[in-house]
Copies of this chain bind each other. A is one copy, B any other.
Amino acid sequence: MRIGELARRTGVTERALRYYEEQNLLRPARLPSGYRDYAPSDVAAVRHVRSLLAAGLPSHLIADLLPCMVDTGDGLMPGCRSMLSPLESERDRLTSAIEQLTAARAQLIALIDRTPDDDAEYDAWVAAHGAG
């Protein structure tokens, strides 16, 4: 399969696919013409890469991780358990990122909620809080 078809089948731009190769996330064969020749399994591989990228994993970590993943994507191969530690770091980084965003959103919601919708409400708000 050439790059255009893979792009269509994954919804990823050709540029992104070339970028993934540059980052060693994909290693397509080459046709005599120099065209990239992707395997059918690369459709799944691309989805895999995308979900890990969406998790915020840096591409070099994904590159290290991919050869460790079994076909089903269910776990890591033996001899790759050294990857667990960086994975746990990323998990913790995600957790704190989520907490930060959640706190920020709560603050934003509070600001929105405390803003009156019209002048009548504003007058009531002033009466309750004092003149601004």
Chain A positions near chain B (C-beta within 8 angstroms): 51, 54-57, 70-78, 80-81, 84, 87-88, 90-91, 94-95, 97-98, 100-102, 104-105, 107-109, 111-112, 114-119, 122, 125, 129, 132
Q: Top 5 A-B pairs ranked by shortest CB distance? A: A55-B104, A75-B114, A76-B115, A94-B105, A70-B132
Q: Which residues of B contact A88 (CB under 8 A)?
A: 112
Number of copies: 2
Instruction: Say yes or no: A108 contacts B87, CB within 8 Å.
Output: yes
Contact of A98 among B105, B111, B112, B125 (CB under 8 A): B105
Q: Which B-chain residue is minimally distant from A56 (CB atoms)?
A: B104
Residue pairs across A and B with Cβ atoms less than 8 A apart, 17 shown, are: A51-B104, A55-B101, A56-B101, A56-B104, A72-B129, A73-B111, A74-B114, A75-B111, A75-B125, A76-B114, A84-B115, A87-B108, A90-B108, A91-B108, A91-B112, A98-B102, A101-B101
